[in-house]
Structure 1
Amino acid sequence: MTSSLNPAAAAAPAGASSGVLADYRGRLGDHGPDPLLGSDELIAGGDVRPTQLLLADAIEAMGQGGLLAARAETRRLVHDDGIRYGVGGIDGIRDRHWRLDPLPVVLTSEEWSGLERGIQQRATLLAALLEDLYGDRLLLRRGVIPAEVVLGHPGFLRQVDGIRSRGGLVLGAHDLGRDTDGTWRVLADRTSAPSGAGYAMANRRVTTRVLAGLHRSTELARLRGFFHTMSAAVREAAPPTSEVPRVVLLSPGPMSETAYDQSFLASLLGFPLAESDDLMLRNGRVWLRAAGRLEPVDVVLRRVDPEYCDSLDLRADSQLGLPGLVEATRQGNVTVANPLGAQVLENPGLAPFLPAVAQALLGEDLQLAGKPAWWCGDRDGLAHVLANIDRLVLRPIATGGEVEAQLGGHLSAEGRDRLRRRIESEPWAWIGQEPLPLSTTPVVTPTGLTPGRLVLRTFWAERDGERHVMPGGLARAATGPSQLHVSNSGGAIAKDVWVLAPETAEAGWGDPGVRPDLVAVRPRAVVAPRVADNLFWLGRYAERAEAAGRILRVCDDLVEDHAARPGTPGEQAMRALLAAATAITRVPGDPAQPRQHVRTMVSDPLQSGSLRYAADRLGDAAQRVRDQLSQDIWHVLSRLDRTLAHVPSDEHQLQPRLYDVLESLLAVSGVIAESMVRDETWGFLDGGIRLERAQFTVALLASTIAHERPPIIDGQLTEAVLEVGESILTHRRRTVAGEGPVWPIHSAVSLLLLDKGNPRSVAFSVDRLVEDLRLVGDDVLAAKAEALADHIARVDLVEACTGDRSGLGEILAEVRATLHAVSDDLTRRRFARKTSQRTLPISWAVTS
C-alpha cells in the first residue's frame, strides 16, 4: 500500500488535466494554496499533486453532470438520515438540514502523522495549563502569562477555583487552517464542550455511500475506533469509588443548534442523553431520575455552556443545568467532562504566550502554533498593533460577546478609528494577530467546482495518559468573502476528511492481542420521565398518523365515487364517514366541498388533527429521543416528509399519495417493532400505540355504527368502517364460511371491539396495553387496564347492537372514559417533570 490514493498512478508522471479541473484551476485566482492542485509552478504546467491523482481522476470521470448527481445524492442521504443543524422546533423555522459536499478532503499518512504529533503536544500543554490556572498559578506568578489575560476572561470561573477535576481535560478539539506554505496553524482551541465529532462520523457515512467505488479502492484510517476510545476515556474519568461508572451526556435539549450531533454522539458512545429535567442532586450526588427510581451518575459529559450548568454557583436564571453541580464536583462525587472552568483555554489572548508556556511546562518548542500575535496590554504590543491595524486581525479576548474578530483592512478609515479608540480604552482586552490566508478546497456547485476556504476541526480524547486523535475530523469550506468566520452557522459547507492509511497498516481489526474493555453487569438503566414521555408520544403520533391515513383514504374513495350523486345511499354513507373523520380529527370543513375537505385533513400542517400535523409531530418526537431509535427510521421518516410535502391538486387523485403515506407509516411501525428491545423503553412507546389505536377505534365506532340508520346506508357505512379498521377481508371470509355474525353491524362490533385475535380491535390493544404497563413497572395502571379488558370481554354482542344501539354507545363511552383515565394517570405518574427551579438574586443594601 502506498500513501497515494492510487498506487499505480502515484508512480506515473502527473499529466495535464482538462474539463472540470481545468475550469477549477481558472477559478483559483488569488486564493491560497489548494491541496488538490500543485504549487503555482505545477498549476501553470497543468499538473495535479501525485497524492491526489485518484480523486482528480474521479472528478474528471464524473464530469460536471456526475458531480451534480453526487451533490444531489448527498443531499438526499443527508435528508434521509435526518442530519440537521440549527435551532429546531415545531415550526422548523431555523432548523435545516446539514450541508455536506460530496468531495472529501484527502490527507496523506505522512502529513497526518506530523499533524497528529502537534495535536497531541498541544492537548498535553493545554491540560497542564488548565491545572496550573486553577491550581498554583505559577505561570501568572512568574509573569509568563499576564494575570489580566486569564483573570479578565469570562471563561475563568472563580467558583471552580481549586477543584481538582479527575481526568482533567478528557476531550478536546482544535480548528486548523493551512498557511501559504502549506503549514497547518491553529485558529482556535475548543476545550469547553467541543462539538462536531458526531457530524464527522455522519459525514463519513454519507460520503462513503455517494463515492462507494472510490472509497472501496482507497485504504483509509477508520473512525469507529476513536469513539470506542472516547467512550472508555470518559468512563475512566469517573470518581475512583465507582465500580461501574454511569455516564450521561448532558444536552441543552432539542432546541440546541447541534442537537443532532449530541444525540448521534450519545448513540455512538453508548451513553444516555440527558437534559436538566432528567437529573437531580441529592446528598451531594447526581442522580438520573425516573418514577420511583434513581440511578447514580458518576460522569456528566456536558454539552451545556459552563455558566449555565449550575444556577446556584453560576448563572442564576439557567434552566439548563443542575443546581449544586459545582459543589458535587468539589466533593469529588461526580466528574464533569470537560471541567467547568475549561473555557478559559479558548481565550485567544493566550495565543501570544503559548510558545513560552510550552517551554515552561513541557520544556519543548510548540509544534502546532497559530500566526504571530501581540497582546495590546503590553506597551510594545499595543504600539505594534495600532501601527499595523490595517493589516492585522483584531480579536477581543472575551469571544462570543457583542464584538467579534475584525480584519482591519476590511474596515473603513472611520471604522478603524473607532476600533483604535476602543482598543486604547481597554488594551488588556485585545490582541492583534497576523491573518491566515486559508488554503482552498474544491466545492461542488451548479456552475462547477468553486474554491472554498478550508478549516479543519480535529478531535482527541485522553485515555491512560495518552492523547488519541481522531484520524481526520470535520472539515468546513466557505465560498463567501469572509476569511475570519468559516463556520456552519455562517453558511459554510461540511466535508469528510480522508486520512490515507500508512503503508505499515494492517487490514482488519488491528492487534489481535488487544481485547475490548469489559464492563461489569449492572441493573438495567432507568428511563427518565422526559424520555418516557417522548417515547409514549412517538407511539401515539405514529398510530395517529396511520389512523388518519386509513380513514381519509376510505373517505377519499367514497368522495370520488359518490360526491357527484346527491341523495343516494352511497352519498349519505360518504357524508356519515366524512362527519366521523371530522369529529375525530377536529379539522373543520365545508360540507359542500368534500373533496377539498379531505385534502385539508390530509395536508394542512396547522390543523392539529390533520395527517400532516401528526406526521410532523411524529418526526419531532423522534428527534427528541433520537438516541433510542434505530438509524433506519430516519430514511422512512424522510420519505414520509417528502410525500406529504406535495399533495396533488383537485385535478389529480389523492389515493396514490395516501397509499404512499401508509406504506411509510407501516415501515415506521416495522422498524420500531423489529429493532427495539422489549424493555421499559418499548413499554412506553408501544403503550402509546395501543392507547391511541384503542381510542381511535372507539371514536370511529361511536361516530358511525353506534347510530342506527336505514339498512342500505347502514350496510355501506359498516363496510367502510371495517375497511378503515383493516378488517373487511376477515369479515367477508367469516361471513361466507359461516364463522362469524351474519349481520354486518354485529361483525363490525365483534371484529373491532371484542376480538382479542384482531390486532385492530380494542380488546387486542387493551391486552397489549396491560403487558406494556407491566413492562414499565406500573402494576396499578396495569390492573386498571386489565379490569377494562375484562369489562370488554363481558359485552353481550347481540344486546349491544339491538334497537337504537344506545347500549353500544354507552359501552363505547365507558371504554373511552377509562382509556382517557389510564392515559391521564400514566402522564401524572410517569411523565411528571421537575418543579421549575430558579435561584432568587439577593440585593445587598448598605444602611447607615
Structure 2
Amino acid sequence: MQSPMQPMSSFAYAPLEGCFDETIEADGTFRAAWDPLQQRFHRLGVTELKRKWNEARQIIRENGVTYNVYGDPNGMDRPWELDPIPHLISAKEARILENGLVQRARLLNSVLADLYGPQKLLHAGVLPPELILGHPGFLRPCHGLHVPGGNYLHIYAADLGRGPDGQFFVLSDRTQAPSGAGYALENRIVLSRMLVEPFRDCRVHRLAHFFRSLRDSLRSLAPHNRDNPRIVVLTPGPHNETYFEHAYLARYLGFTLVEGNDLTVRDDRVYLKVLGGLQPVDVILRRLDDDFCDPLELRIDSYLGIPGLVQVVRSGNVAIANALGSGLVETPALLPFLPAICRFLLNEELRLPSVNAWWCGQKESLEHVLEHLPSMVLKPVHPKKMSRPIFGQRLLASEREALIRSLRQHPQDYVAQEQLRLSTSPVLNQDQLEPRHIVLRTYLCNTADGYTMMPGGLTRVTRDADSMVVSMQEGGGSKDTWFLSEAPVSNFSLLHSSARPVELTRGGSDLPSRAADNLFWLGRYTERADGKYRLLRGLMTRLAEKTDPADTPEVPFLGRVLSIPCVSIALKIEPATVWGEKEIRREIFDTNKIDSLASLLHSIHRVAGTIRDRVSTDMWRVLTSLNEFPDEETELGEVLDLINRHISTLAAFGGLAMESMTRSQGWRFLDMGRRLERSLHLLRLLFGTLIHQSPAEGNLLEAVLEIADSLMTYRRRYLSSLQAAPVLDLLLADESNPRSLAFQLVSLMEDVEALPREANSPGRSAEERLMLSCVTTLRLAEISELSEVDSKGVRTRLAELLSKLETDLWKLSDTITQHYLIHLQRTRHLAV
C-alpha cells in the first residue's frame, strides 16, 4: 500500500507504506533537506524537467558512459542508467555517516593487519579460526608481507541502507578493489550540468577535493621516485563490467591505464612495457581481484595478473592499493563479530551498526536462522560460490527444504542477514515519479591525517518497487548523491598542485605497446570502413540511377574491387557479371564476412573501447555515433543516407586526429594505421578498375575519382575529358593531393622515421628501408608508361607497380608489429 500522493514539479508521488522514504515525512510533508529542491522542481515543471533530462541522457550517450552486463548479448556496453532526481543527505546525517565510517575503515584495516600478522583475533577466540583459515580470500603468500605504514585499505567503500525507522545500517564492506567512485563522479558532472540552479541553491559539497586527496595519497605510497612517481590503474580489460570507470578514473587522476600484459617484473621491480623500452612502476591502483594479480604465487590460471608481483611487493619495490589480501574482510560472515572485534582492537564501541547477521558455522546461529528462515537473506561466506542472495520468504516448499539440507550439511558456507526493508526514493519513470528501494555506496581514502570520506557517493536503485535486489547487473539504475552543507561550499576543482614540482616532458615514448597496437588498428579499421563506405556509395548511386545494366558498364569493375583480397592475385579475378542489391546487402550486413560494414563497425567499437582513456571526449563522441546501424530489412535508400552520414562522421574523426591530437607516439601509430590502410585501399581500387581497360572508361574514371574524393581537383585542373594518365598522376604520384598514394607514403615515411630506435643503432631500420623503397619506386615511375595498354587490353606495368607496392606495405605492417606491438618481455632498451 502506498501513502497519499505528494506533488513535486507537477508530478504526483506516493511513497511505499512500511518503508522510510528519503523525501517525504510520515505526515506527508517534505523533509527539510528536500524542501528547496522540490520547490525548484515545481518551478521547472514537467516539460522543462523532461527536456533537461533528455539533454542529460544525450551527454551520457556521447560520453560513452557504459556498464557491461555479464551473460547478456545485448548488455555489453549498455548505457549507464542515471535518474534525474538526486539522493539528498543532510549535513547532520553526513556527520553521522562520516563518524561511523571513519571508525569502520580504521577497524577493518586493523583486522587485516592482525590476520596477516600476529593473528591475535584468532588466538583470543574473538574470531573462529575456521572462518578465516578456510576462506579462499585468505592469501597465505601474503601473510607477513610488508605493507607500507601498515595501511592495507587505501580506499574503502561501504554499502549503506536505512531501516523503516530511518536508522543507517552497513549492508556490506568493499575492501578489495571498491568500484563505483568514477560513476559517482560522472553522475555528478551530468546532473550538475542539468540542474545548475538547484545544485547551487542546495549547497552541495563538491567531489574534487576527495579525488585530489586520493591522488595525493597514492603518490605518497611510492617507495621510489617520490617527486614524480609512475602510478598505473590495473584493469582486467574492456570486458569487465566497470571498464568505463577504470578508464575514466585513470584519465581524471592523470594515471596510466594498463592491463596485466602491459607490465613485467625484472630484478624485483615492476616495469611498464612502452615503445621506449621499460619504465619502472611505483604504485599500482588495482581494479583486479586479489587472487588474479599474480599467477605464480596466487591463482595459477590467471591471465590477467603480473607473474612475480608478490615477490616485488615482498621486496618493498612497489605499492599496491589496496594491499593484496584485503578482499578477506569483504566476507559478510565478519559482520556479526565486528562489535566484539572493535572492542578488542580499538577499545571502542562500534558506532555505525551492521545489518543483523548470523554466521551459520556456529550452532546457535544456525538454529536461529532455520527458525526464522522466512525473514532471512542467505549469502555465501565465499561470494564466488553463489551468484545471488537467497530470500527466504520467496522460496517454494521444495526450494526451502533443499536449502535447509544444504545449511545443515555445509553450515560454514552460509551467512544469514535480516531482510531489511530498504528506504525508498522517487525515480522518474516516463511521465511520473515512482518509489524505488535504494542503497548508498560511499567511499573513504586513507590520507596522512587519517581516513576522509567522499561527500557524496553512488546511490543505486532497484529495478522496480517490488524488488529488494539493488544491482546494476539485475537491471537497476543509479542516482547522484548530494551531501548538503550548512555553509557556502568551495568551488575547488581538481587541478595540478602548483607547489609540487613536476618534470617537464614532451615525449611520447611512455605509450604502452598494447595501447600503440590498439591505436594502430583503430586507424586501420576507421580508414578501412571509410574506403568501404565510399565504394558502396559509388555503387549504390549508380545502380539507383539506372535500371538497365548496360547503362552502368562501370558497375562490374567497382564490384570487382570488393572481391580483391590482395593485388598480387587479382589478375585472375575477372569483373563480376552481376552486381545488384543482394551483393550490396551482403557487403553491408553479413557479420560472417570479416570486411562487411557491420563487422568493421564492430571492430572499431571494440578497439576504441580498449583505449577509452587515450582519445578525447570529442573523438569518442564521433566514434560512438557510428553505433547507429540499420537492420537488414531497411530500404537501401535509407541505408545510403546513413552511409553519407557515416562518411562525414569518419571525416570528422580524421580531422580531430589531425588537428586535436598532440604528435605523440599514440598519434603516430593511429596515423600509420590510417595511412597504411588508405594506401592499400587505393591500390585495390586502381587495380580493380584500371588494369583491364573498360570500353566505357570515361564513366569508370569518373567513379574512381569520386570514390577517391578527388573529382573536383581533377575537374579544376583538366577541363577536358577524363583520361587514364592524368587520373593516375593525381591518385598515384601527386604528393600535394592528400588522397593520393604518394601523399600517404611520404606521411608514412615521416611517421616511421620518428619511431623509437634501438640505442646506438647504425643505419636505417627495416621499416625505414621499406618506406624508402616504396617512395623511391613510386617517384621513379613514369605515368605515361603506367597508363599504356598492351594488346590484351591490360596495363601490365601498372599492375606490376601496384603489386610491388602492396607487397612492401604488407611487409611494413608485419615489421612494425614485430618491432613494437608484440607483447613479450623485451630486453632491448630504446632511445627516443
Answer whether TM exceeds 0.5 for this pair. Answer: yes
- Equivalence map 1:777-788=2 (5 Å): 777=756, 779-788=765-774
Give the whole-Å Cα distance in 1 for the aligned partners of 2:574 and 2:482.
55
**Among 662, 665, 677, which residue is 1:692 paired with?**
677
The answer for the alignment partner of 1:821 in structure 2 is 811
**Among 19, 22, 25, which residue is 1:35 paired with?**
22
Contact 1:31 1:439 (C-alpha < 8 Å) held by counterparts: no
The answer for the alignment partner of 1:205 in structure 2 is 189
The answer for the alignment partner of 1:10 in structure 2 is none
Instruction: Find out whether 1:745 has 2:724 as its counterpart.
Output: yes
The answer for the alignment partner of 1:126 in structure 2 is 108
The answer for the alignment partner of 2:760 in structure 1 is none
> Alpha-carbon deviations, 1:492-516, whole Å to 9, x = none?
1111112223314344559x99855
Give the whole-Å Cα distance in 2 for the aligned partners of 1:201 and 1:594.
51
Amino acid at match of 1:267: R
> Alpha-carbon deviations, 1:731-786, whole Å to 9, x = none?
111114x9xxx863122111111111111111111111112222332543123212
**Among 786, 807, 821, which residue is 2:797 paired with?**
807
Contact 1:90 1:617 (C-alpha < 8 Å) held by counterparts: no
Contact 1:636 1:664 (C-alpha < 8 Å) held by counterparts: yes
Give the superposition deviation at 1:553. Answer: 1.8
Give the whole-Å Cα distance in 2 for the aligned partners of 1:514 and 1:22.
46
Contact 2:701 2:724 (C-alpha < 8 Å) held by counterparts: yes
Change (3 A) 1:785 1:135: same
Give the whole-Å Cα distance in 2 for the aligned partners of 1:664 and 1:403.
42
Instruction: Find out whether 1:188 has 2:172 as its counterpart.
Output: yes
Contact 2:203 2:488 (C-alpha < 8 Å) held by counterparts: no
Give the whole-Å Cα distance in 1 for the aligned partners of 2:99 and 2:576.
71
TM-score, length of structure 2 as denominator length: 0.90
**Among 104, 121, 126, which residue is 1:139 paired with?**
121
**Among 174, 184, 187, which residue is 2:158 paired with?**
174
The answer for the alignment partner of 1:499 in structure 2 is 483
**Among 344, 351, 366, which residue is 1:367 paired with?**
351
Instruction: Find out whether 1:670 has 2:655 as its counterpart.
Output: yes
Amino acid at match of 1:103: I
> Alpha-carbon deviations, 1:190-247, whole Å to 9, x = none?
1101111111122223323443453455432222332222222222222257653222
Amino acid at match of 2:663: R
Give the whole-Å Cα distance in 2 for the aligned partners of 1:591 and 1:371.
74
Structure 2 SS opposite 1:153:
coil
**Among 684, 705, 729, which residue is 2:712 paired with?**
729
The answer for the alignment partner of 1:554 in structure 2 is 538
Give the superposition deviation at 1:19. Answer: 7.2
Contact 1:351 1:370 (C-alpha < 8 Å) held by counterparts: yes
Change (3 A) 1:350 1:508: closer
Identity over aligned pairs, percent: 35
Amino acid at match of 2:709: E
Amino acid at match of 1:269: L
Amino acid at match of 2:237: G
Give the superposition deviation at 1:342. Answer: 0.3
Amino acid at match of 2:459: A
Give the whole-Å Cα distance in 1 for the aligned partners of 2:377 and 2:435.
23
Instruction: Find out whether 1:577 has 2:567 as its counterpart.
Output: no
Give the whole-Å Cα distance in 2 for the aligned partners of 1:92 and 1:479.
17
User: Mean Cα displacement is larger for which, 583-592 or 445-454?
Assistant: 583-592
Structure 2 SS opposite 1:487:
coil
Give the whole-Å Cα distance in 2 for the aligned partners of 1:72 and 1:507.
27
Give the superposition deviation at 1:714. Answer: 1.1
Contact 1:437 1:483 (C-alpha < 8 Å) held by counterparts: no
The total of aligned residue pairs comes to 804
In structure 1, runs of 5+ residues without a counterpart are 1-14, 837-848
Change (3 A) 1:396 1:816: closer
Instruction: Find out whether 1:318 has 2:305 as its counterpart.
Output: no
**Among 440, 449, 473, which residue is 2:424 paired with?**
440
Contact 1:286 1:334 (C-alpha < 8 Å) held by counterparts: yes
The answer for the alignment partner of 1:755 in structure 2 is 734
**Among 255, 263, 269, which residue is 1:285 paired with?**
269
> Alpha-carbon deviations, 1:59-107, whole Å to 9, x = none?
4456665565555544433322212212589976644222222222122
Give the whole-Å Cα distance in 2 for the aligned partners of 1:774 and 1:206.
43
**Among 741, 754, 773, which residue is 1:775 paired with?**
754
Structure 2 SS opposite 1:368:
coil
- Equivalence map 1:343-492=2 (5 Å): 343-402=327-386, 404-446=388-430, 448-480=432-464, 485-492=469-476
> Alpha-carbon deviations, 1:539-570, whole Å to 9, x = none?
011111111122222222222223x13323xx
Give the whole-Å Cα distance in 1 for the aligned partners of 2:78 and 2:213.
31
In structure 2, runs of 5+ residues without a counterpart are 758-764, 827-832
Give the whole-Å Cα distance in 2 for the aligned partners of 1:319 and 1:589.
48
Structure 2 SS opposite 1:32:
coil
Give the whole-Å Cα distance in 2 for the aligned partners of 1:566 and 1:255.
47
Give the whole-Å Cα distance in 2 for the aligned partners of 1:507 and 1:241.
32
Change (3 A) 1:828 1:439: same
**Among 698, 702, 705, which residue is 1:715 paired with?**
698
Give the whole-Å Cα distance in 2 for the aligned partners of 1:591 and 1:67.
58
The answer for the alignment partner of 1:11 in structure 2 is none
Amino acid at match of 1:144: V
The answer for the alignment partner of 2:61 in structure 1 is 79
The answer for the alignment partner of 1:544 in structure 2 is 528
Contact 2:203 2:484 (C-alpha < 8 Å) held by counterparts: yes
Give the superposition deviation at 1:625. Answer: 0.8
**Among 781, 790, 806, which residue is 1:795 paired with?**
781
Contact 2:64 2:79 (C-alpha < 8 Å) held by counterparts: yes
The answer for the alignment partner of 1:24 in structure 2 is 13
Contact 1:302 1:337 (C-alpha < 8 Å) held by counterparts: yes
TM-score, length of structure 1 as denominator length: 0.88
Give the whole-Å Cα distance in 2 for the aligned partners of 1:67 and 1:606.
44
Structure 1 SS opposite 2:204:
coil
> Alpha-carbon deviations, 1:134-168, whole Å to 9, x = none?
11112222222222222222211111101022242
Give the whole-Å Cα distance in 1 for the aligned partners of 2:229 and 2:523.
31
Contact 1:536 1:685 (C-alpha < 8 Å) held by counterparts: yes
Give the whole-Å Cα distance in 2 for the aligned partners of 1:346 and 1:72.
38
- Equivalence map 1:92-171=2 (5 Å): 94-166=76-148, 167-171=151-155
Contact 1:766 1:786 (C-alpha < 8 Å) held by counterparts: no
Give the whole-Å Cα distance in 1 for the aligned partners of 2:328 and 2:221.
21
Change (3 A) 1:135 1:514: same
Contact 1:262 1:303 (C-alpha < 8 Å) held by counterparts: yes
Amino acid at match of 2:409: S
Give the whole-Å Cα distance in 1 for the aligned partners of 2:207 and 2:615.
22
**Among 679, 686, 705, which residue is 2:690 paired with?**
705
Give the whole-Å Cα distance in 2 for the aligned partners of 1:589 and 1:368.
77
The answer for the alignment partner of 1:7 in structure 2 is none
Give the whole-Å Cα distance in 2 for the aligned partners of 1:546 and 1:806.
29
Change (3 A) 1:148 1:455: same
The answer for the alignment partner of 1:270 in structure 2 is 254
Amino acid at match of 1:18: P
Give the whole-Å Cα distance in 1 for the aligned partners of 2:264 and 2:23.
52
User: Mean Cα displacement is larger for which, 107-116 or 91-100?
Assistant: 91-100
Give the superposition deviation at 1:814. Answer: 0.9
Give the superposition deviation at 1:332. Answer: 1.2
- Cα RMSD (Å) of the superposition? 3.1
Give the superposition deviation at 1:184. Answer: 1.8
The answer for the alignment partner of 2:549 in structure 1 is 566
Give the superposition deviation at 1:489. Answer: 0.9
Contact 2:619 2:656 (C-alpha < 8 Å) held by counterparts: yes
Give the superposition deviation at 1:425. Answer: 3.5
The answer for the alignment partner of 1:679 in structure 2 is 664
